[in-house]
Amino acid sequence: MRAYLDGRFLPLSEARISPMDRGFLYADGVYEVIPVYSRFPFRLEEHLRRLQNSLDGIRLPNPYSAAEWRLKILQLIAETDFDDQAVYLQVTRGADVRRDACFPKNIPQTVFMFSAPLIAPSSEQRETGVKAVTAPDIRWLRCDLKSISLLPNVLTRQLSADVGATETLMLRDGYLTEGSASNVFIVKDGVLLAPPKDSLILPGITYDVVLELTVKHNAPYELRRISEAELRDADEIWVTSSSKEVLAVTTLDDKPVGKGDWVGRPGPLARKTHAWFCEFKEQVMRRPGA
């Protein structure tokens, strides 16, 4: 697999960083994951804008302009063997000679990227939906920043992995926030509901696309806090992310989700929205920049 480290493209197996890197010592950095379809990076400008927001949030200067990022990402995609990829990029506050929490002076940021095959949900997962469990949200209060400090997400995700489920949905103070690596939507009485973009959730790129498609197709929606009771009583639950796209949760904490003839199966709005999403992807690939 190809990688990029501090100005150089190289095989991933040859990439080396210092153990004094602040990413390693303090998780002092931010990251992005950009899906690539048929070698076309999806919503690249939006990912680079979110990266800038994360960097601003941790007071770390952006090492590159958007044009420089674009060139480097396109080169990495070109050097990678697969058509559908997930580009991972990470910027840390660099490697100092001392371990000191205060920001170092005159130390260059560490920039690391690699691209792996994009792993999409299987056709079986699409057909049957997936299992999820709930857990308390144990993260900090700046979940809008895509920080590499992912230990709470790792521990939370493992809770679902332990019971063979695909995602863990997090609750804070009795309200739904998001998944360990995804945003969450629910449907109640035909209305799509999602938590608003505030500092308690990551502003997902897929979340934005889903809302744009909802508006475009005149489907009713509301952005507001969702209580635990509303989550458990939802007609549909979906998770969205760059790799999952729109994926129905059909079992929550061992109970089937849904009503009528789609109990325990993907609901009608999940199917429709995923179809809109696929159609949109196709259009964008035919008309890059759309």
The footprint of ligand PDD (CB under 6 A) covers: 33, 178, 181-183, 202, 204-207, 240-243
Backbone angles phi, psi at 163, to 5 degrees: -110, 20
Of 146, 197, 244, 272, the active-site residue reads 146
Nearest distance, CB of residue 260 and ligand PDD, angstroms: 29
Q: What is the DSSP string of 208-223?
A: HHHHHHHHHTT--EEE
146 is catalytic: yes
Q: Residue 41 or residue 258: which is nearer to ligand PDD going by CB?
A: 41
DSSP H helices in the chain: 22-26, 44-57, 66-79, 123-128, 151-162, 205-216, 228-232, 268-286
Q: Which helix (H) or strand (E) holds 6?
A: none
Q: Residue 45 or residue 233: which is nearer to ligand PDD going by CB?
A: 45
Distance between CA atoms of residues 1 and 114, nearest Å: 7
Nearest distance, CB of residue 207 and ligand PDD, angstroms: 6
Q: Residue 95 or residue 274: which is nearer to ligand PDD going by CB?
A: 274
Q: Which residue has the tokens 């857990």?
A: 135
Q: Residue 241 or residue 250: which is nearer to ligand PDD going by CB?
A: 241
Nearest distance, CB of residue 177 and ligand PDD, angstroms: 9
Nearest distance, CB of residue 221 and ligand PDD, angstroms: 17
Q: Which residue has the tokens 């002076």?
A: 105
| Active site (catalytic) residues | 146
